[in-house]
């Protein structure tokens, strides 16, 4: 029979074995003060999945110092181009969830690549930690100033294919046009290979193409210069730049299936530029980061800076971003996913 001393010693040994396994769970619940102390003076990376000088790089370098200020940390922007952002997003999805690494992501492109099971995709947008949406905007259907297409119905009434200009299969231009043509049951041909949205828009101006599907920020530049004309905002909300241009829901009578396709497409576009962190981050650290990002990107001075530089900030909080992500990559039926893949394959 064990002596009392032996029983006590055994209990102490067992406790010693259990303490290390319990310690991590205790460490996860940190106070805001403890989280602030953790970040103070540390280096936090914002990864950009594209090269220097592009839109995502410029956004990251604009917002980085403001997020750093809220964290009490030094924010460093790191470019990791490759596979249209997929390489960097794959790396983010397996990085340590310590709060020292975040990424600004092309939410629409990342979601479409995941839905299509594109080669090399190893991330899951639904499982990443979401910090919020930096900016998102409705996309616009443009034609040339002299085009006979004044409304979506005019395009439907034309007894020929409507030609859309684009750069590549999942560039926003091509897949947006494909969704529009499918939803409107409209004869179309999407012509890819233009060197950029500027060249694609110019092809419409010259009459080589009939239409182009672009973000409202790009559309604003093309319309202000007299190069193109807007006929519809492709979401349920009108664009800030085109308050007099109707939405597709206002301009056309849609069936429930047509409305679903346009809503789904708008949900993709609403992902915009999102900030994410690796999955499985301790809840208190994720909440601290979310609060810091929200405070930085809702600061009136930061919003005004975006207005001055035409890097508009339309912040959406982390929960809204998460719900939109789930609506796009998780909450679709197999039949809907098959239809989306057929559309995205431009079949």
pLDDT tens-digit readout, 53-78 = 878 899 999 999 999 999 999 999 99
Host H or E run for residue 183: helix 173-183
Q: What percent of the chain has pLDDT over 90?
A: 68
Strands (E), 118-201: 129-135, 139-143, 162-165, 188-191
Regions of the chain where pLDDT drops below 50: 1-27, 347
Portions of the chain given CATH number 3.40.190.10: 139-267
**Chain Cα centroid distance, residue 133:** 7
Are 137 and 215 in contact by the 8 Å Cβ rule? The answer is: yes
Predicted confidence at residue 22, as pLDDT, reads 36
Instruction: With CA atoms as reference, report the closest residue to 304 among 317, 295, 293, 313.
Output: 313
Work out the widest C-alpha separation in the chain, in whole angstroms: 100
SS3 169: coil
**Class for domain 139-267, per CATH?**
alpha beta
Burial of 142 (0-12, 13-18, 19+ CB in 10 A): buried
Host H or E run for residue 148: none
**CATH superfamily placement of domain 32-136+272-334:** Bordetella uptake gene, domain 1 (3.40.190.150)
Q: Look up the pTM and report it.
A: 0.80
Portions of the chain given CATH number 3.40.190.150: 32-136+272-334
Residue 190 main-chain phi, psi, to 5 deg: -100, 120
SS3 296: helix
Predicted confidence at residue 83, as pLDDT, reads 85
């Amino acid at each position: 029979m064990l002596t009392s001393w032996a029983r006590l010693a055994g209990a102490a040994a067992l406790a010693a074995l259990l303490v290390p396994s319990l310690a991590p769970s205790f460490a996860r619940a940190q106070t805001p003060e403890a989280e602030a102390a953790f970040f103070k003076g540390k280096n936090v990376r914002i990864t950009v999945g594209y090269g220097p000088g592009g839109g995502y790089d410029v956004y990251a370098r604009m917002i980085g110092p403001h997020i750093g200020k809220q964290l009490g940390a030094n924010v460093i922007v790191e470019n990791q181009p490759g596979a249209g952002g997929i390489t960097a997003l794959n790396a983010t999805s397996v990085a340590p969830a310590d709060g020292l690494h975040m990424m600004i992501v092309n939410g629409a492109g990342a979601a479409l690549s995941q839905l299509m099971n594109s080669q090399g995709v190893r991330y899951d947008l639904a499982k990443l930690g979401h910090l919020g949406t930096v900016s998102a905007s409705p996309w616009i259907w443009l034609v040339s100033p002299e085009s006979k297409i004044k409304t979506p119905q005019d395009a439907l009434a034309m007894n020929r294919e409507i030609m859309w200009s684009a750069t590549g299969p999942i560039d926003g231009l091509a897949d947006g046009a494909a969704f529009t043509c499918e939803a409107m049951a409209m004869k179309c041909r999407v012509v890819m290979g233009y060197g950029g949205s500027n060249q694609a828009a110019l092809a419409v101006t010259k009459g080589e193409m009939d239409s182009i599907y672009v973000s409202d920020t790009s559309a604003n530049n093309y319309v202000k210069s007299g190069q193109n004309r807007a006929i519809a905002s492709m979401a349920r909300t009108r664009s800030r730049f085109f308050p007099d241009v109707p939405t597709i829901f206002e301009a056309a009578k849609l069936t429930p299936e047509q409305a679903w396709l346009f809503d789904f497409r708008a949900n993709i576009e609403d992902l915009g530029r999102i900030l994410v962190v690796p999955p499985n981050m301790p809840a208190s650290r994720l909440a601290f980061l979310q609060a810091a990002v929200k405070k930085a990107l809702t600061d009136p001075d930061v919003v005004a800076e975006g207005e001055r530089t035409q890097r508009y900030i339309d912040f959406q909080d982390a929960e809204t971003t998460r719900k939109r992500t789930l609506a796009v990559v998780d909450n679709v039926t197999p039949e809907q996913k098959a239809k989306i893949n057929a559309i995205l394959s431009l079949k």
